[in-house]
A and B are shown apart, each in its own frame.
Chain A
Amino acid sequence: MKAFKNPALALLGLCLLGVALNFSVNAYIQLILLFAGVNCLLSMSLNLVNGYTGQFSLGHAGFMAIGAYFSAYASTRWSFAPSSLLVVQYFVFTLGAGLVAAVAGFLVGLPSLRLKGDYLAIVTLGFGEIIRVALLNMDFVGGPRGLSGIPGFGSFLWSFAFASLWIVICFFTIWRVMHSSHGRGFLSVREDEIAAEAMGINTTRMKVKAFVLSSFFAGVAGALFAHFTNFINPSSFTFLQSVNAVIMVVLGGMGSMTGSIVAAIIITVLPEALRPLQELTGVDLRMVIYSLSLVLMMILRPKGLFGDMELSDVWRKYVRRSA
């Protein structure tokens, strides 16, 4: 039971925050927070591959799409739970979305993770595009029309609690994995593949494991995205979405879980926070500012916000010392 203490506390804290937000801010900010939650899942899961295992994936949007489509399709077609237990049903569908994405991750990862560096990036990019084009051409999921009328969770409170639940699961799963022998294996692959191999680690297997786990949570993120927007079509899962996920990982710091979370929140909030600028100037300069700050960030703070430290380390190192 002790193992569940921290996750349970975290979930409780987030739910209380949800209750507070439910009464204090308007629907617009609530929606942005939900998107931030989806992005947190995306960046944490990609961090496992890009940050901890050092493999460069550019196809995260593809797995997100698979999860989103699975959950959307399932929840518009099938229903097994009575209306009072709808939450259970959503949980099952989201879990299913993650599993389907994980299977896809396995199928993609097995052949492609033998490649290295830029080549891996290109192959994952290719798979992401293939998934998108395939979705465009599948009539039973609507092709370019997408799937509409996806049921949501009803209220902001439920949505937020649901997102929190998955964020907590994702965070603690990855955290625990990274502090187990598997995690050491992932890190060894990142630090020096040849040395890792010499120590008897099956590097390809390690990479595939990381990739599958990462795809699972990308699928979950996709499912949440589908339920939050109530509508999906293939144009939500383009190459740019994959790039966005990579940007969040690098911005937060490769191999920093809390960094990923902070970066995901910043990346979601920044474009919305810049909207008043558009109302003032009449032209939309958001992406111009976004791209410029990206370049500046890479030059001025190449290790991201936190490097490979966690928020707690940063706290200990800078804040407490100065006090």
Chain B
Amino acid sequence: MQDFVQHLINGVSLGSIYALIALGYTMVYGILKMINFAHSDVYMVGAFAAYYFARWIGIENDPGLSTLLTLIVVSMICCSLLGLVIERLAYRPLRNSPKLNVLITAIGVSLFLEYSGQVVFGADPKVFPEVMKDFVIFSIGNVEVRSFDVTVLVVGLLAMLALQFLLFKTKIGRAMRAVSANPMVASLMGVNPDRIIAFTFVVGSSLAGVGSVLVGMKYPKIDPLMGMMIGLKAFVAAVLGGIGNVGGAVLGAMIMGLSEEMVVAYLSSTYRDALAFGILIVILIFKPAGLLGKYSVEKV
């Protein structure tokens, strides 16, 4: 029983990590209907930005809330700038191209960031600065709830709520939904789709920035290929929940985290990754738009 509770906690904490990154995928997909493969590499750049900034102003050994907030802000700024640049240079020229071209461009950008990261930052892993002290909040027997797990979960949920608010309660959110529904009509209504899409990238990328610092805090090892696996998983989570749906991303991430955990606990650790994809496939076959996605029948 104790182990089960521990697995539950582990799974939720892993799921909240996925959720932070899945939200970025889902944002961009929701508005642009494109898989932004480079998202996980923007996240990687965010982690390195925080790492170098902390070393530059000398707060890498100075854990505390102020360090955490500083680094999050720095990382958010760097990521959103990078997101803007990518959108402007690589994606905007392809706005009206077939989907496959956009996807390949995204893969190209992703490879570019990964490999130039290896040249610029070096391929060896770096140790992320200690931004906060981890401590046990409460424990029952063997089972402990730690501050990092709670922080990541809370931030993930807050980000989800903030996105919901942004999308459904603000003017720019309405514009975003309009562009998502039909960019042409939206522009007739006085919305500038280019600006809205750029804004979407800023929001999505700054989420990656937040994620990178929190993941770096929890798993203090960063390297230029760190985004690859976690990005793939987070992306799968977003699809699982119904890509484009903010709540779905978090739900999908939680399912993903918990199922990975339970697979190791009760089935087999060797098939961990395979089963994660297996679950995705089964769900997509029965619910082709993901758990919370709306399945729309094509009409002529």
Contact = CB atoms under 8 A, between A and B. Distances in A.
Indicate whether A and B are direct neighbours in the complex (CB within 8 Å). yes
B105 A127 contact: no
B100 interface: yes
Nearest to A294: B108
A44 B21 CA distance: 35
Interface string B226-262: 0000001001100100010000000000000000000
Contacts of B100: 50, 56, 246, 250, 254
A239 B90 CA distance: 22
Contacts of A194: 298, 300
A134 B274 contact: yes
A24 B61 CA distance: 62
Interface of B is mostly: helix
A290 B104 CA distance: 12
A292 B107 CA distance: 10
Contacts of B93: 299
Interface residues of B, number: 43
Contacts of A311: none
B277 A126 contact: yes
Contact of A123 (B33, B98, B280): B280
Which of the listed residues A115, A116, A193, A291 has the most CB atoms from chain B within 10 Å of its own CB?
Answer: A291
B112 A129 contact: no
Nearest to B238: A122
Contacts of B116: 288
Interface in A197-254: 239, 243, 246-247, 250, 254
A302 B236 contact: no
A298 interface: yes
Nearest to A195: B300
Contacts of B144: none
B94 A294 contact: no
A194 B300 CA distance: 8
Contact of B109 (A50, A115, A125, A295): A295
B220 interface: no
B119 interface: yes
A283 B112 contact: no
B99 interface: yes
Interface residues of A, number: 44
B44 to A, nearest CB: 15
B101 A298 contact: yes
B278 interface: yes
A117 interface: yes
A112 B281 contact: yes
B35 A299 contact: no
Contacts of B139: none
A250 B106 CA distance: 13
B8 interface: no
A129 B277 CA distance: 8
Interface of A: 50, 56, 111-112, 114-119, 121-123, 125-127, 129-130, 133-134, 136-137, 193-195, 239, 243, 246-247, 250, 254, 283-285, 287-288, 290-292, 294-295, 298-299, 302
Given A123-B280, A193-B298, 6 more contacts: A115-B285, A115-B288, A123-B285, A137-B271, A287-B115, A302-B98
Question: Which are the 10 A-B pairs with shortest beta-carbon distances?
Answer: A126-B277, A294-B108, A291-B111, A291-B112, A287-B115, A133-B274, A295-B108, A298-B105, A130-B274, A299-B93
16 contacts: A56-B99, A115-B284, A115-B288, A122-B235, A122-B280, A123-B281, A127-B281, A129-B273, A243-B107, A247-B107, A288-B116, A288-B119, A291-B108, A292-B112, A294-B105, A298-B101
